[in-house]
Chains A and B, each alone.
Chain A
Amino acid sequence: GQQLNQSPQSMFIQEGEDVSMNCTSSSIFNTWLWYKQDPGEGPVLLIALYKAGELTSNGRLTAQFGITRKDSFLNISASIPSDVGIYFCAGLNYGGSQGNLIFGKGTKLSVKP
């Protein structure tokens, strides 16, 4: 089945630093979604990408849908302590029987004040 490789697995950074994480897949998706999850809570949607090459920002977050449709990255600029959490990428193909969302294993972000 489809699998997503998300890296890095974890990051320890200083407040104010920029962060970059990415996801790659062995097959194509027509939607990429990025989520953040705080402990014990549900994943919160950060950015949705629908078109190959699309670059979308949400405040200090920027994500891109790779041209090959097999990858995506998320950047966080000028990190702050509340950025701490686990970030998940997810790929989705709508239609047919492949309706479910495939998740990466997450990137755990720790920010030192």
Chain B
Amino acid sequence: DSGVTQTPKHLITATGQRVTLRCSPRSGDLSVYWYQQSLDQGLQFLIQYYNGEERAKGNILERFSAQQFPDLHSELNLSSLELGDSALYFCASSVEGERNTIYFGEGSWLTVV
């Protein structure tokens, strides 16, 4: 158990809909990362937040957005969903600093039908 909690674990929704994925980082971790992994693909970095502020942005579509709240949990919002958005979405967290280590949650399976 990495200590990073993601909900929901599985989600099936229709095209055009909007969903929200939730992440609770490990206790004490200020940074939250979101990654997308499609079938047989590697991990694509979407976005990073540090203590409530956006720190780094990767290949995140305009239809997707994220935020980190004062209690440090984060949400990834996916809207106008398309079939190609079906993937595993991972949240990860880290404390930052010289011996930075990043731990991943178990992921949220999104299926768009």
Give me the interface of A with B, judged by CB distance under 8 Å.
Answer: 31, 33, 35, 40-45, 48, 50, 88, 90, 92, 94, 97-106
Contact = CB atoms under 8 A, between A and B. Distances in A.
Contacts of A90: 102
A42 B102 contact: no
A99 B42 contact: no
B105 interface: yes
B42 A45 contact: no
Chain B, interface size: which category? Answer: 20 to 34
B48 interface: yes
A100 B58 contact: yes
B45 A100 contact: yes
B100 A94 contact: yes
Nearest to A108: B40
Contacts of A102: 45
B104 A94 contact: no
Contact of A101 (B98, B102, B106): B102
A33 B92 CA distance: 13
A33 B43 CA distance: 14
Interface of B: 2, 4, 31, 33, 42-43, 45, 48, 50, 55-56, 58, 88, 90, 92, 96-107, 109
B33, B90, B104 — most chain A CB neighbours (10 Å): B104
29 contacts: A31-B100, A33-B101, A33-B102, A35-B104, A42-B2, A42-B106, A42-B107, A43-B90, A43-B104, A45-B102, A48-B99, A50-B99, A88-B42, A90-B102, A92-B102, A94-B98, A94-B100, A97-B55, A97-B56, A99-B50, A100-B45, A100-B48, A100-B56, A101-B45, A101-B102, A103-B43, A103-B45, A104-B42, A106-B42
A112 to B, nearest CB: 21
